[in-house]
Structure 1
Amino acid sequence: TIRYKPTDEKFAVECKYRSYLYNDKLCWTTREKLKDYRSFAQKNIIPTFIVIGLGGNPRNPEQMFCIPLEKAKYPELYPSVFRKFERDPRKSFFWNRYCSETSLLRRIVQ
């Protein structure tokens, strides 16, 4: 859980790294863990995001996706789902409470 001090807002981020797609899907968690993530988000009533690095290496992924938990409905995601949330892995994050639910956590555009 992260707290944005200026407004005292909370949100959660779960970070993952995968070196490749398996059967053209991004296998990011198990069914049991997904249930745990959902339970946490509902219990704490906070926006929860899954940030996944793909390819390259964990410290320098080729691609990165910041997926709202409510959009990551399954343990394996097809590109048609996760590609919508692609972010440049070299740019920093910032919190913006005024963005839509799918964009609460965005990349700084430079």
Structure 2
Amino acid sequence: MFKNKLYGETQIIQIEKVETLVLNYNGKGENNYSKSQSYWDKKKRSLKKSALFKNYISEKVFPPNYFKIMNRECKFKNEPDYKVILKENSDYFYLKCKFRGYLYNNFYDWARPDQIDSFKEFSEKVENPVYFAFGLGGCPNDPDNAFLCPLEKVKCKLKLKELEPWRIQCLDDVSRIIC
């Protein structure tokens, strides 16, 4: 149940099952608020892409014979997806995975400033590093480009040349970045 006030009138609307919510107000300045089916389809596709990319990262980038990947129950969206433990020495770090199919205005646009601040707070709280696995282009389960970037080097929007030093193509690249 929620209250809606428009044009001086208060309406109380009770909703039992929300799949599509459309509120129409006829008259001067008609407003149309909706969460259409295409919104939910897009959300499902986004979650599926995210899961495919996370699977790629956990199996191909951090192979199980060298790393132990622990899923994290994230309380907040702006927390890492995984705790990654190096089997060799039990050191660990945290990892957030992000996939984009393309650059937006020539930038890998992935976060807002407040989200990056949340990751910095998390890293300080746990006293361990946070890295970001970025996928770009191709399919989420086999991206054309993959990057592993430390928290200290990320920005909300990154140009491809800024990501280049963090490109990963083999296990040696991963070792170079995390060690």
The answer to which structure, 1 or 2, has the higher relative contact order (CA under 8 A, 6+ apart) is 1
In structure 2, the partner of 1:61 is 143
Unaligned runs of 5+ in 1: 106-110
Pick the structure with greater CA Rg.
2
- CA drift of 1:17 comes to 0.2
Unaligned runs of 5+ in 2: 1-82
1:75 aligns with one of 151, 156, 176: 156
- CA drift of 1:36 comes to 1.2
1:22-45 Cα deviation digits (max 9, x unpaired): 111111222222111111111111
CA distance in 2, matches of 1:93, 1:13: 18
The RMSD of aligned alpha carbons is 2.1
- CA drift of 1:5 comes to 4.2
Aligned residue pair count: 97
1:41-87 Cα deviation digits (max 9, x unpaired): 11111121101110001111000011111010x21012231111111
Q: Percent identity?
A: 26
**TM-score (ref. length: structure 1):** 0.76
What amino acid is the match of 2:158?
A: L
Q: 1:24 aligns to what SS in structure 2?
A: coil
Residue correspondence of structure 1 range 1-80 to structure 2 within 5 A: 1-72=83-154, 74-80=155-161
Q: 1:87 aligns to what SS in structure 2?
A: coil
Which 4+ runs in 1 deviate beyond 3 A? 91-96
**TM-score (ref. length: structure 2):** 0.49
